[in-house]
Amino acid sequence: MMANMRQHLESINEILYLMSNNQLDKAADIAEQRLGMTSLNSHNASHMAKFMPKGMRQAGTSMHKSASRFALKAEEGDLNGAYKILGEVTSSCVACHAGYRIR
């Protein structure tokens, strides 16, 4: 689970770099494939979910849905809209990490 979360952070970092270089299509692809709803199978999300409290699962689902919405907005070429939705992605991360710890 921790490795998965670190990969999410790496993906967000790569997305920000791509956005700063106006490569929204590439940012959209990374967002959907690594963070979005498409990524759930590759992350083995259904296996991990059973070990998470309900609130943690909800924060994760919110993050994945926001990432997919980000990908759609980035594909449209809407940089400002994409930044706004990326803020929703990271807000889900912040909320989850503020409320939960893996021991």
71-98 per-position pLDDT tens digit: 999 999 999 999 999 999 999 999 999 9
Distance between CA atoms of residues 79 and 95, nearest Å: 24
| Domain residue extents for the chain | 2-99
Confidence of residue 31 (pLDDT cuts 50, 70, 90): very high
What is the per-residue pLDDT for 47? Answer: 74
37-49 per-position pLDDT tens digit: 999 888 777 777 8
